Amino acid sequence: MGLELLKLGSITLYQGFFHATYCAKPLKTHDGFTVRFRRSDFQHCAYESSKKDGYKDAFSTQRAERLGWIKAALQDPSLTLYAGWDKEKRRYDHRSRVTLMIDDFVVVLRLKSATEAQFVTCYVADGPHTKSKILSSPKWTNPFT
């Protein structure tokens, strides 16, 4: 895919890029969903848990450098989409949509309606187990059609 990494000089510049690119106006996916981003989503995109306890407290250059890839992932019709996993119900949920790109970059959306979605998070799959879990998930199907 050959996407360029975003090399900015500070957390503030990465945050400004995220807000200008994603929060200023909704983004359309290749299949017509309008995706909304919250300013607070930057925390999910550019930080990770230093203690693996779920609390995202450490800025991640690896994640921040891939902020531009979110748009590419959502607008590329050639990528395979997978159903997300609902931890509470312990089953796959097609209202959650997972996109896996080359270089193991993952983008997760939550569908709100037949036309709207909310950005959840993005990350680089941290190992072969994470990637294999995604690849073994059912292919995503639109629950609204």
pLDDT string in tens for the chain (145-residue length): 458 999 999 999 999 999 999 999 999 999 999 999 999 999 989 999 888 777 888 999 999 999 999 999 999 999 999 999 999 999 999 999 999 987 899 999 999 999 999 999 999 998 889 899 999 999 999 999 8
Do the Cβ atoms of 84 and 118 come closer than 8 Å?
no
Measured CA to CA, the distance from residue 61 to residue 11 in angstroms comes to 9
Rounded CA separation 130/113 (Å): 28
Q: Report yes or no: 96 and 108 within 8 Å, Cβ to Cβ.
A: yes
Q: Can you say how many angstroms the Cα of residue 30 is from the centroid of all Cα atoms in its chain?
A: 15
Q: Would the pTM of this model clear 0.85, i.e. be above it?
A: yes
Contacts for 17 with CB less than 8 Å, ≥ 6 apart: 6, 8, 67, 68
Contact (CB, 8 A) for 111 and 74:
no
Domain boundary assignment for the chain: 11-135
